[in-house]
Structure 1
Amino acid sequence: MIKPAVFAMLASVSALLLSPSSVAASFDCGKAKAPDEIAICKNVSLNDQDVTMALLYDLNKHFMAMGGRGSLMDGQAEWLKQRHACGAKVSCLSAAYTQRIGMLRGFIDERVMTKGPF
């Protein structure tokens, strides 16, 4: 049986993932100055990927043991540098998000979904 807190978290994330366009980017687009941030704010698909990635990142932080959070945060900082290097190139940004989302989903599948019982 799924624990109520886990179920509530997964249900709310699922609802958001099904309609990510209803949520703004994970940062304030009004303050976006870097080319990558401006491109994300102007492109609905990139905005959706940004929201999905941010939700998955937060879930990973929540479910990860205290000792592993530093590594996750370091990985995110490195990924943000890679994203920034893309500049305003939509294809580069999309590829970076696809890779990071896949990695974060893999962590959740490995750490949460295999722990059951669900």
Structure 2
Amino acid sequence: MQRKRGHGAVIGALLLGAAGLAPAAGAASFDCTLPDLAPDEQVICNERDLNDADVRMVTTLDFLTGLFAMGRRGDIMDDQAKWLHERMACGADAECIRAAYARRQQQLQDIYDSIDRPL
């Protein structure tokens, strides 16, 4: 069995690059200028750290889904849809939203770490 180390650095480097490319206004994965945003989306648009967490999560998700065939990719996207319902259930509770992003980012990191690949 191969040792898995430094994988977080790979994801981290990708995310730092993506964060640097993201426009400052409306960088979230949805349009923050829409008038009918859900309460969780309003909080994400107004809290820079949550906006950044959204960008990190979506960047990681896009990266991971590009690595897998349809079956596994579909499972990841099904999990994402479930997670979005969990985030929406937070309403305007910023701490709940932060915790939801932390959980999802860890889930995505775990998926990446589970990939069998050479170092």
The amino acid across from 1:65 in the alignment is A
Task: Name which of 29, 32, 35 aligns with 2:32.
Answer: 29
Greater share of residues in helix: 1
Query: Is the alpha carbon distance of 1:94 and 1:20 closer, same or farther for their aligned partners in structure 2, counting shifts above 3 Å?
Result: farther
- TM norm structure 2: 0.78
In structure 2, the gaps of 5 or more residues are 1-9
Contact 1:20 1:48 in 2 (8 A): no
- TM norm structure 1: 0.79
Quick one: distance in 1 between partners of 2:107 and 2:31? Answer: 25
Quick one: distance in 2 between partners of 1:15 and 1:76? Answer: 23
- Do structure 1's residue 57 and structure 2's residue 35 form an aligned pair? no
Task: Name which of 84, 87, 99 aligns with 1:95.
Answer: 99
Give 1:77-88 correspondences, 5 Å limit. Answer: 77-88=81-92
Shift of 1:116: 2.1
The residue aligned with 1:16 is 18
The residue aligned with 1:115 is 117
Query: Is the alpha carbon distance of 1:59 and 1:37 closer, same or farther for their aligned partners in structure 2, counting shifts above 3 Å?
Result: same
Identity of aligned residues (%): 41
In structure 1, the gaps of 5 or more residues are 1-8
Where in structure 1 do 4 or more consecutive aligned residues deviate above 6 Å?
Answer: none
